[in-house]
Each structure stands twice: as structure tokens, then as C-alpha cells.
Amino acid sequence: MKKFFLLFPVLLAFLACNNEEFQIREPFQDDVKYIVLMHPTVFNLERFIFLTENNIFPLPEGYRAVGVYH
């Protein structure tokens, strides 16, 4: 019985970490370079768009921005 009470929380924690929502919507292309935006909150995305649209941080030709979150 003790094993069950020990195994149950471990199994529950393992299943809680399973993320079935993760999807790569399109494959990465070999001829494109990527700039990875970590933790892209709304504020961070707004700032990135502002910086790129106003050429403060110009996105080089052939580069693409990709947001990664967890």
C-alpha cells in the first residue's frame, strides 16, 4: 500500500508534464536563418515589432523570427 501512495504522485507528476499541445506548424527551412525569441509575451512581441518596423533593430534579409515558449 505504501508503494501505491508513493507511485501515485510520481505518476501524476509525470502525466502533468506531458504537453500534447506542442506542435511545429511548419518545418524549418535550410535556406532561412532564424532569430529565436524566448518567452514571447505580448509586451516582448510588441517591442520586437516596434524595433523591427522602425529599423532600430533591422531584421536581416533571409532571417525569420520564431517565438519559443513553454
Tens place of pLDDT per residue across the chain (70 aa): 666 667 777 666 666 665 555 556 677 777 788 888 888 889 988 999 999 999 998 988 888 888 877 6
β partners of residue 65: 35
Residue 51: phi, psi to the nearest 5? -65, -40
pLDDT on residue 69: 73
Q: Looking at the whole model, is its pTM more than 0.75? A: no
CA 32, CA 18: separation in Å to the nearest integer?
Answer: 30
CA distances from 29 to 16, 17, 39, 51, 54 (A): 32, 29, 22, 25, 27
